[in-house]
């Protein structure tokens, strides 16, 4: 059979999509950020053979590692396509290397705003078709067991990596740009927003059933800075994707915004048009619900470090957390990505417990 995006197997478990859209669910859906990752020996085996971005760029490998956590943890209610947020700077012409133990490294980060014009906007999304191919292949191989999530980095987070040249504890260079060149910062954020909208549309056309936007660096922003440098672009992305889907006569997909460390602006996030808001563990579920109102789904928020506790303790904490969120409009997850040394049994405890919570 030809693997096109027209003849996907029928979806059998729609808990994630139902929860995102505020429909009744039999059980609370659960998935885990970075669920395809280094805590899995089968992932490590693939990585021992292939460079990180080779896995991203090879649809068969990306599909294989996307499916790995589902095989081991049958309670997972979603999969997320294996890729990285930094494929966008690459598609804009920047070099990004993944150094084990160090994380992503840009040998030539943006030095000053004059370099913005050198970014290759033209055709950027056409250089990301491998992500679409991985999504289409995975939609077939997953046989409708669970929905497939597509994702992107948000403009501010991507800009930070492009300026800092990698992860940064202080974001000092990015903050200097904000101070010295606010106009150029907005110009760069706008460029990223446009690429992101087309990139997400391509993912939907390829078969993504829900989209998550990672604003992982929101913890560096004050509420005022979030309002100026993050929120308007997150909103434009949501509007642009909705309009693009409409224009292409595709089916609408729900979207999640996850602003790590963005607990200072949940009320603002509630007005960006996203169906789901992800929260990290520093935010209390009851406070989060008050801040966003009743018409938004919440996702989160166990501290990934809690997965180093004993399975019984993890079960107890998961159920306690879930009771605070409630069964309705809730997607169970961690408050950030699962970390590499997490014991395999912890994921069993976490994913089983939530299905027993209500
Ligand atoms: C900031 C960010 C990045 N990438 C991503 C974010 C946003 C989420 C977050 O805040 O964590 C998103 C991401 N990265 C990866 C996924 C795959 C899907 C999944 O299972 O969630 C997703 C959704 C794979 C990955 N991306 C990376 C790995 C580990 C690298 C490896 O296999 O060698 C994986 C599985 C590497 C990566 N990629 C990035 C960093 C900072 C690192 C190094 C940190 C680390 O080592 O954990 C950039």
Which of 51, 57, 85, 94 has most ligand 1 atoms within 8 Å of its beta carbon, as the pocket-test mutant? 85
Which residues is 300 bridged to in the sheet? 332
Known catalytic membership, residue 84: yes
pLDDT, tens digit, 9 for 90 and up, residues 300-355: 999 999 999 999 999 999 999 999 999 999 999 999 999 999 999 999 999 999 99
Residue 308 · residue 346 · CB < 8 Å: yes
Q: How many folded domains does the chain comprise? A: 1
Question: How far apart are the CA of 252 and the centre of ligand 1, in A?
Answer: 27
What pLDDT shows up at residue 6? 72
Asked whether residue 5 is assigned to any structural domain, the reply reads no
List, chain by chain if needed, residues with CB within 6 Å of any ligand 1 atom.
Answer: 33-38, 47, 52, 80, 82, 84-86, 98, 100, 103-104, 151, 167, 214, 216, 260, 337
The fraction of the chain above a pLDDT of 70, given in percent, is 99
Domain with 311 in it: 15-356
Asked whether residue 173 is assigned to any structural domain, the reply reads yes
Asked whether residue 292 is assigned to any structural domain, the reply reads yes
φ, ψ dihedrals at 335, nearest 5°: -90, -5
The residue count for the chain: 358
Largest CA distance in the chain: 56
Cα distance between residue 36 and residue 62, in whole Å: 10
Regarding beta strands 103-105 and 97-99, do their DSSP bridges make them parallel or antiparallel, or are they unpaired?
A: antiparallel
What pLDDT shows up at residue 283? 98
Q: Helix crossing, 311-325 with 285-292: angle to 10°?
A: 30
Least Cα distance to 206 among 298, 304, 133, 282 occurs for: 133
pLDDT, tens digit, 9 for 90 and up, residues 201-213: 999 999 999 999 9
Asked whether residue 1 is assigned to any structural domain, the reply reads no
Question: How far apart are the CA of 84 and the centre of ligand 1, in A?
Answer: 6
0.90 exceeded by pTM:
yes
Pick the catalytic residue: 47, 139, 315, 329? 47
Q: Which atom in ligand 1 lies closest to the alpha carbon of residue 86? A: 48
What pLDDT shows up at residue 2? 62
The overall average pLDDT reported for the chain is 97
Residue 290 · residue 263 · CB < 8 Å: no
What pLDDT shows up at residue 339? 98
The pLDDT-based confidence of 101 (bands split at 50, 70, 90) is confident
What pLDDT shows up at residue 286? 98
Radius of gyration of the chain (CA): 19
Asked whether residue 136 is assigned to any structural domain, the reply reads yes
Asked whether residue 8 is assigned to any structural domain, the reply reads no
Task: Return the DSSP state at 222.
Answer: -
- The arithmetic mean of pLDDT across residues 226-234, rounded, is 98
Asked whether residue 283 is assigned to any structural domain, the reply reads yes
Q: What is the layout of strands, in order, in the sheet containing 276-278?
A: 79-80, 148-153, 210-215, 255-259, 276-278, 297-302, 330-334
The pLDDT-based confidence of 299 (bands split at 50, 70, 90) is very high
For 144, left (φ over 0), alpha (ψ -120 to 50), or beta? left
**HSE-up (13 A, CA, CB side) for residue 21:** 13
Q: What is the CATH number of the domain that holds 209?
A: 3.20.20.210
Cα distance between residue 29 and residue 210, in whole Å: 13
The pLDDT-based confidence of 275 (bands split at 50, 70, 90) is very high
Known catalytic membership, residue 34: yes
**Per DSSP, which regions of the chain are E strands?**
79-80, 97-99, 103-105, 148-153, 210-215, 255-259, 276-278, 297-302, 330-334
Question: How far apart are the CA of 127 and the centre of ligand 1, in A?
Answer: 20
pLDDT, tens digit, 9 for 90 and up, residues 22-52: 999 999 999 999 999 999 999 999 999 999 9
Asked whether residue 9 is assigned to any structural domain, the reply reads no
pLDDT, tens digit, 9 for 90 and up, residues 104-125: 999 999 999 999 999 999 999 9
């Amino acid at each position: 059979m030809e693997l096109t995006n027209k003849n996907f197997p029928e979806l059998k478990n729609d808990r994630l999509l139902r929860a995102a859209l505020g429909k009744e669910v039999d059980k609370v859906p659960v998935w885990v950020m970075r669920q395809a990752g280094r805590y899995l020996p089968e992932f490590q085996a693939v990585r021992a053979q292939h460079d990180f971005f080779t896995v991203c760029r090879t649809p068969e490998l990306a599909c294989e590692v996307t499916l790995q956590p589902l095989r081991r943890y049958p309670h997972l209610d979603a999969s997320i396509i294996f890729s990285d947020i930094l494929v966008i700077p690459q598609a804009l012409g920047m070099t990004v290397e993944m150094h084990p133990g160090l994380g992503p490294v840009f040998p030539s980060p943006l030095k000053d705003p004059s370099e913005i014009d050198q970014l290759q906007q033209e055709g950027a999304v056409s250089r990301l078709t491998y992500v679409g191919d991985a999504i289409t292949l995975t939609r077939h191989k997953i046989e409708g067991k669970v929905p497939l999530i597509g994702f992107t980095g948000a403009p501010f987070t991507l800009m930070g990596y492009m300026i800092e040249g990698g992860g940064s504890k202080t974001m000092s260079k990015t903050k200097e740009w904000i101070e010295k060149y606010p106009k150029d910062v907005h110009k760069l954020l706008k460029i990223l927003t446009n690429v992101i909208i087309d990139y997400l549309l391509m993912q939907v056309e390829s078969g993504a059933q829900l989209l998550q936007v990672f604003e992982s660096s929101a913890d560096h922003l004050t509420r005022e800075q979030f309002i100026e440098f993050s929120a308007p672009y997150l909103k434009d992305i949501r509007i642009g994707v909705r309009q693009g889907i409409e224009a292409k006569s595709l089916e609408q997909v729900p979207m999640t915004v996850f602003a790590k460390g963005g607990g200072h602006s949940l009320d603002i996030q509630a007005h960006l048009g996203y169906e789901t808001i992800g929260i990290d563990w520093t935010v209390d579920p009851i406070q989060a619900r008050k801040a966003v109102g009743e018409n938004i789904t919440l996702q989160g928020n166990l501290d990934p470090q809690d997965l180093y506790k004993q399975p019984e303790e993890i079960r107890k904490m998961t159920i306690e957390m879930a009771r605070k969120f409630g069964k309705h409009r809730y997607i169970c997850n961690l408050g950030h990505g699962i970390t590499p040394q997490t014991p395999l049994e912890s994921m069993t405890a976490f994913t089983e417990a939530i299905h027993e919570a209500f």
